[in-house]
Structure 1
Amino acid sequence: MKYTVEIEINLPRTKVIALFDNPDNLQKWMPNLVSFTHLSGEPGQVGAQSKFVLQQGSKTCELIETITARNLPEQFDGTYETDGMWNEVQNVFVDIDNTKTRWIAHTEFKSDKFMMKLIMLIMPRAFRKESLRFMESFKNFAEQEH
């Protein structure tokens, strides 16, 4: 399943990237983040891996992030893997007019589990909505920071 979502942030791209690229800010805009742990590679660089632990209802979910592209301030891409699920996000940051930034996220989900494939088939909007929720949370954090 593939989709694209985007949001406009009322800050210059340089400020957006400074906030986005700082792992110390993750818990400020990811309300369900339990922990973030660097695992291997040079932090923040292509090939680096980190573990995200997210709270989802009464359960926790562990995701392994692998950075696949880093061409900031324009682009930052990664894959996110958990048991039976693979997700790739290509983040593009467009400088609108030195006061606003458009964040575009091209996302792809794959799963080898029947139930997850079924959910992706019958509820694709839920995935888009969740992606947009994370982006809106970042936007709110970033605009309040500055």
Structure 2
Amino acid sequence: MKYTVSIEIAMPREEVIQLLADPAHLPKWLRGLVLHEPLSGVHGQVGTKSRVVMQMGKQKIEGTETITRREPADLREIPKGSVVHFDREIVVEGMWSVVRDRLTEAGPDRTLWVSESEYRFSGLLMRLVGLLMPGSFRKQSQQHMQDFKAFAEHGKDVREGKG
């Protein structure tokens, strides 16, 4: 299963990237995040493996995230007009996914975030989930982007509904 979602954020790209790259901000906008801890490497750097635990309703889901691409490597020196790439692979029991994020300037104080996701399922139960609920994955990705936008633009924190 593959899909693409996007959102425009009313902030300069450099500020958006700094907020996305700071692990301290993840719980403020990544709804359901229980834990995100590097197992090896440095947060956000290519090759870094992290343990990720998400709460989805009454169920906790644990997996491993590996950063597979980050361009440019130094986010402090991004050429004007270039595209920032940030890709990661996520492995959970019965599911493999890859997320390819692209951040481009949509104007002097606007950023376009385009996220391509691909999922592969194994095991009967996970294959059924993938077949019966494909829209829920897309909806969750769009919700994460909307939550980030609300956090970035207005300081809204998904944990407390404040901002």
1:144 to 149, 154, 158: 154
Gaps of 5+ in 1: none
Structure 1 counterpart of 2:40, one-letter code: S
Determine what percentage of the aligned residue pairs are the same residue.
41
Take 1:57 and 1:42, find their aligned partners in 2: how far apart are those partners? Answer: 30
| TM-score normalised over the length of structure 2 | 0.84
Give the secondary structure class of the aligned counterpart of 2:62: strand
Question: Which residue of the partner structure matches residue 120 of structure 1?
Answer: 130
Take 2:118 and 2:89, find their aligned partners in 1: how far apart are those partners? Answer: 9
* Alignment of 1:43 onto 2:79: no
| TM-score normalised over the length of structure 1 | 0.94
Superposed CA offset, 1:58-109 (max 9, x none): 2211121100000146110001111111110000001011211110001000
Question: Which residue of the partner structure matches residue 33 of structure 2?
Answer: 33
Superposed CA offset, 1:88-141 (max 9, x none): 000000101121111000100001122222222232211111110111111110
Aligned residues: 145
Take 1:83 and 1:121, find their aligned partners in 2: how far apart are those partners? Answer: 17
Gaps of 5+ in 2: 76-83, 156-163
Superposition pairs of residues 17-32 of structure 1, within 5 angstroms:
17-32=17-32
